Every structure is written in C-alpha cells, then in structure tokens.
Amino acid sequence: MSVQPVLISGQWLPSAGQETFQAVDPSTKQPLALRFPISPWAEIEAVIRHASEAAAIVRSWPGERFASFLEDYACRIETHAADLIAIAHRETGLPVEPRLKTAELPRTVNQLRQAAACARDGSWATATIDTKSNIRAQFGPIGPVVVFGPNNFPYAYNGIAGGDFASAVAAGNPVIAKGHSSHPGTTLRLAQLCHEAAQATGMPAGFVQLIYRTSHADGYKLVSHPLIGASGYTGARSTGLSLKDAADKGGKPFYCELSSVNPVFVLPGALQERLPAVVDEFVGSCLMGAGQFCTNPGLVVVSEGASSEQFISAVAARFDAAPVGTMLSGGVESNFRAGLVALQQAGATVVCGNKPADHHRYCYANTLLRVSGEDYLKKPHGLQSEAFGNASLVVVARDLAQMIAIAKTLEGNLTGGLYTDTQGSDDAAYHDLAPWIREKVGRLLNDKMPTGVAVVSSMNHGGPFPATGHPGFTAVGFPGSIHRFAMLQSYDNVRVHRLPPALRDKNPTGKQWRLIDGNWSQADVP
C-alpha cells in the first residue's frame, strides 16, 4: 500500500520515514485505506530550514500578500467543501449536518477571511509612534510557526487551516503544520488546497509545509529549535505539557490549549424561574458533538434544594433518552472512561449512564455524576479531572458560601459561567461569587452555555494555566489571536526611508489605526 507524501518546500515528496500509520473510522472501528508516514528528524530539520528561508523571503512583504493567499485558500475550501466534508465525516464520525457542513467548515473559511482582512488592514500590528523621541515600533512576524491541530475540529483548528494557522500567516509567518493522527486524510486534502493557493498567489516554497507525525523526542526538538519562532498546540494536557517544557527551555513561545472543565454555577433563582430552559440549554451544550468540545460544561455547581434535585433528575432523564454520539477515536473513548473512573475515585457517584453503548463504534453512554459540596472540597483536584466527552459532574453545594469556596478551588479554565434569574433575586449572590470565577477563566458567561465560540474581536478563547500556558492571549478572534505570533520591533533613530511603511509619517492606507503620541489615529503623523 502506498504511503501518502509530505509537503516540503513546495513539493509533495515521499517521506524518508519507515514507520507509517492509518486512521480509523470511529463509526465502524475499521482502519481507513490511506497510510501516512511518521517523519524522521532529518526530514523535520529540512522542513524547519525551508520555513526559515521562506520567512526571510517574506519578512518585508506587505500584508496584502498574506491576505491574498488566505483568501484564495478560503475560496478553494468552499469550492471543495463536499469532498472535505466526506473525508472528515469518515475520519471523525462528526455529523455532516449541522456540524461539519453548516457550522465548522463555514467558520473555518470565515476565520481565514477575517485573518486576511486583518493582514490587509495592518492595524493589528499596533504601529506606535512617539514623535518627540522619533522612536517607532510595531509588531512583526515572530518566525516560522509550528501548529499542532487537535482531534476534535478537523477544519477550524486544523494545523494547516485553523485559527492558529490563519493568525500565524496573518502576522507574516511560514507555518509548519503537524496533522492530527485521527484525521490525516482531511489534513492532506486541506494541505493540497493550501499548497495550490500558495502557488497561485506566489508564496515561497517553504511557506506552508505539512508533516503528519513525529516521535515525541523529535517533537521536543522541533518546538525548541533556534530557527522556530513559536508554536500553537491544542490537545491533550500531558502531551502539551511535555512539548511546552521543551519549548520553554528553548525560550520559544508555546501557546497551548490543554484542558478545561468550564464550570457553570447555577444560582437558585435561575432554577426557580426557568428550570426547563436551563435543563434544555445544559443538555444541548453538554451532549453536542458527543461533548467533545474544549468548552464543554463538565462541572455544574448548584445549591442544595428541591429545584436542584429536579434539575438533576430532568437532566438525567434527557441524558438517558438522548442518542449517544460517536466519539472521535478509541483513544478518546478510553480516556473518557478513565476520566469517569477518576471522578468516581475522587468521590463522585453516577446518576445515569457510565456504561457501554454500542460496541460497533467508539462511544459511551451519556453520563451524569454528582457529588456534595462538602465531598468536592475534600478532593477538589481529583474532581476537576477532565472526562472529555458526553459527561458532566454536578456539585451540590450547601449554600452560597460553599459555592464561593468551590470557586476558589478552581484551576484555570477557558470559561466559567453563572446562571441567574432575571428579576434580581440572584444579584447579591452573583456579586459575591462572580469575582472568584472571573479570575480563574478567560471568558465569563452569564445565562449562556460555554459551547459556541464566536470568532469576534472580543472573544477570549484562553485562560489561566492549565487551561492554557499564558492568560494574556486568545486562540480565537482577530486581531487578538495574531499577537501570539508576533514580536515587538522598535526602531530608534532609523532614517525614514529605512522604516517599514506603517511607521513612516504618512498612513500607508489612510485607514490603518496607529498609536501616535498616545492617541489612536488613522491620520498621517501631523
């Protein structure tokens, strides 16, 4: 069986690697036809060198060039949507409708176009001019970016098409994409389109490259290599921490999204006011995509009482009645089951589910667990174990004081939320509780479930460790996400004809926002 090629320096080449792997159809547990290579170090090193050469070629290119490439690529994805959807559905088991076709693929195309708009506009670079000292600064490309895509978003977080890819390119950086092993065919197809777009828009050979898999040790060498600028990683916590450690030692920024249980605190008034609606929203958010979202609500905190018992019963009934979604891979299923075991070992009891569902595909019953606030506080660490999938743990707190105590134990999360009534009866509790959640999460939600990450400038898809490695950056939303892949470049006394266009007196487009003597302006330097 032939092995699929890697994309190196603008060419589809056979990998020098001897080892190969195949993806598996999670709906049938059967291996898929295509075979993909594991790249050896010499090959990875060549990829790095080519990326570095590409970085040197494009470093003074105007944003327009990157914008054209991203937009051309977005069009190609739309043109070949049917093909991409068929492949991704087979490799991930994610539903075609609405997930792949109506939600994720359009979102991916939208991200590429938003990144393109930012690259063209240039305002993301925060051009800063101090006229008195004649010192001028802007953000510029950081150097080749390695992107490790996760299993759960075959397009929107794909190493060769997703948000990290788009933001790295918008900043003017070559990308080395590391495909996820569970959907290599989708990644290959995207990379073909990406490569065509790069050729059509005149990008240099090493600007976009693709490998599928490396040894762990080679991954560490890759992210810490002196010629690498930074890396983006979305995936399992243990792998991410090992890569982060290597990158940190090499002094290379490593943006990682590792894990999150996304606590939702449901205050008593909300349940009294609209229990069925809250149940609806929670069940929908928790079971969507078999719960395989970074922002899945895995921890729900309620207050002791009849309403909360009704909430738990209603959710359990809905969980039992709902179809059981297919999981992305055997690894996801086994990690999910291990997560459920860890939660039980820490003191949680099963309300419903926690059993095999269908042996012909990767899946496990929709599962609800519960624990008292008192027991939670005995083992807050163990009870924040992530069971990535269609499960959630309800903590039944004695009172508001205990809810606050629980909030104080939270690890860093991507999101945290509070449900409150609309008439003000929860206002005092919100006031006392919300600040403790606020400091532990990147995005604070109110009366809204955390799944669904809008690609807007005000989004923060990030949060304190261990949700990510740095609480100051977002992986979603423009221009914010671009800043991860930029270095600050100050120019001191540099003669005007040697300055980048955005730092000269004349506004290069008449529209770029620049910080001139402390004020944001689209005008020329006066």
Q: DSSP secondary-structure letter at 59?
A: T
DSSP 157-186: T-TTTSHHHHHHHHTT--EEEE--TT-HHH
User: CB pairs under 8 A, 24+ apart, for 72-76?
Assistant: 72/197, 72/200, 72/201, 73/112, 73/161, 73/193, 73/194, 73/197, 73/198, 74/109, 74/112, 74/113, 74/116, 76/193, 76/196, 76/197
Q: Does 253 bind its own copies (CB under 8 A)?
A: yes
Q: How far is the CB of 369 from its own copies (least distance, A)?
A: 25
Q: Are strands 413-419 and 263-266 parallel, antiparallel or unpaired?
A: parallel
Pick from 1, 2, 18, 251 the residue near its own copies by CB under 8 A: 251
Residue 45: both structure tokens together: 């090193």
> 109 or 142, CB closer to its own copies?
142
Site residue total, its own copies (CB under 8 A): 75
Q: Are strands 20-25 and 349-352 parallel, antiparallel or unpaired?
A: unpaired
Residues 107-136 that bind its own copies (CB under 8 A): 128-130, 132-133, 135-136
Convert residues 453-492 into a mask of x (bound to its own copies by CB under 8 A) and - (unbound): -x-xxxxx-x-xxx--xxxxxx-----x--xx-xxxxxxx
Q: How far is the CB of 395 from its own copies (least distance, A)?
A: 20
Q: Does 184 bind its own copies (CB under 8 A)?
A: no
Q: Are strands 391-397 and 367-372 parallel, antiparallel or unpaired?
A: parallel
Q: Does 61 bind its own copies (CB under 8 A)?
A: no
Residues 372-431 that bind its own copies (CB under 8 A): 412, 415, 420, 430-431
Other beta carbons less than 10 A from residue 216's beta carbon: 10
Q: Which of 118, 194, 286, 294 is catalytic?
A: 294
Helix then strand then coil, % of the chain, to nearest 5: 40, 20, 40
Pick from 106, 250, 305, 347 the residue near its own copies by CB under 8 A: 250
Q: How far is the CB of 338 from its own copies (least distance, A)?
A: 23
**Straight-line distance from the first to the last Cα atom of the chain, in angstroms, rounded to the nearest whole number:** 67
Q: Does 513 bind its own copies (CB under 8 A)?
A: yes
Residues 285-314 that bind its own copies (CB under 8 A): none
Q: How far is the CB of 118 from its own copies (least distance, A)?
A: 9
Residues 135-154 that bind its own copies (CB under 8 A): 135-137, 139-140, 142-143
In whole angstroms, give the CA distance from residue 223 to residue 219: 6
Q: Does 232 bind its own copies (CB under 8 A)?
A: no
Q: How far is the CB of 220 from its own copies (least distance, A)?
A: 14
Pick from 56, 277, 338, 428 the residue near its own copies by CB under 8 A: 56
Pick from 1, 306, 321, 493 the residue near its own copies by CB under 8 A: 493
* Bridge partner residues of 270 (DSSP): none
Q: Does 2 bind its own copies (CB under 8 A)?
A: no
Residue 143 CB contacts under 8 Å (≥ 6 apart), including other chains: 52, 55, 173, 227, 228, 229, 230, 487
Residues 189-218 that bind its own copies (CB under 8 A): none
- For residue 461, the number of C-alpha atoms closer than 13 Å in the C-beta half-sphere is 28
Give the Å distances, CA to CA, from 416 to 256, 301, 345, 408: 19, 11, 25, 13
> 26 or 469, CB closer to its own copies?
469
Q: How far is the CB of 404 from its own copies (least distance, A)?
A: 11
Residue 363: both structure tokens together: 């899946």
Q: How far is the CB of 145 from its own copies (least distance, A)?
A: 13
294 catalytically annotated: yes
Catalytic residues: 257, 294
